[in-house]
Amino acid sequence: MTDSSHAEFRIVGGHPALDLVNTVSPRLRGGDAAHDYLTSPAELLAWSRRIELVDLRDFSAVEGTWRSAPELAAKALRATLEIREATYDVLAPRADGAAVAVDGVKRTESSAFERLMLRWSAAAARSMLIPDPARARGVAELVVGTSPAQLIPDRLVVAAVELVRTVDLRQLRACPVADGGCGWLFLDRSRNHSRRWCAMEDCGTRAKIRKLGERRRATGVPAI
């Protein structure tokens, strides 16, 4: 898979649903300077492969279906973006460091839950429980995404609902917008809950440089 045609961006969420939320940068509520990395079905497909939401076989099936029916590709992209925004609206108010407008959070949140639920029930209708006696645990496999056209949004919404149901809120953080971070959501799995930035190499370093500049100005040392 080649991503060289568009900017490579980091995959740092620690969960596919958070990686989906982080396909807008910066992740600010109502921020109009945001860059969207999912603007075409081709970008969505490449990204899905990159985060291993689809294997090579699924990739070919989706690509073939979308090529012969572009309207289905556009529909899948629209569904994906709705799932992305609903997931963000549901999780951001609980993420430490996110930029969330206080007004109307309750209202947005409940309609976001509704949107997730509708997408999830459609995905469930397209899922299959396949008996598998050879399994070590359980007796059947749940296959999400039996329809190639909608396979990607179906898997994403199932992942999003799973995260919403099970996320450990002590781990859910946002790259701190108030300190110049990008607002991306991630799971902080560090042992002492010390991860602050989406990536130290990006927002962490930028914040450090800015702080250094502020200190220089405050102490009267001229900047270079």
Q: How many of the other CB atoms lie within 10 Å of CB of 79?
A: 19
CB of 202 to Zn ion, least distance (A): 6
Q: How many residues sit close enough to Zn ion to count as binding (CB under 5 A)?
A: 5
What span, in angstroms and rounded, lies between the C-alpha atoms of 185 and 160?
Answer: 13
What span, in angstroms and rounded, lies between the C-alpha atoms of 147 and 145?
Answer: 5
For the chain, report the end-to-end CA distance as a whole number of angstroms. Answer: 42
Give the residue, chosen from 182, 185, 187, 207, that forms a contact with Zn ion under the rule CB under 5 A.
182
Stretch that binds Zn ion, among 36-44, 54-62, 110-118, 199-207 (CB under 5 A): 199-207
Binding of residue 203 to Zn ion (CB under 5 A):
yes
Stretch that binds Zn ion, among 62-70, 102-110, 119-127, 169-177 (CB under 5 A): 169-177
CB of 130 to Zn ion, least distance (A): 40
Binding of residue 198 to Zn ion (CB under 5 A):
yes
Q: Which of 180, 10, 168, 153 is nearest to 86 (CA)?
A: 153
Stretch that binds Zn ion, among 9-17, 29-37, 160-168, 171-179 (CB under 5 A): 171-179
Binding of residue 46 to Zn ion (CB under 5 A):
no
Binding of residue 181 to Zn ion (CB under 5 A):
yes
What span, in angstroms and rounded, lies between the C-alpha atoms of 87 and 161?
Answer: 8
Q: Strand (E) positions, the chain?
A: 24-25, 35-36, 128-131, 140-143, 172-174, 185-187
Among residue numbers 59 through 118, which ones bind Zn ion (CB under 5 A)?
A: none
- Footprint of Zn ion on this chain (CB under 5 A)? 175, 181-182, 198, 203
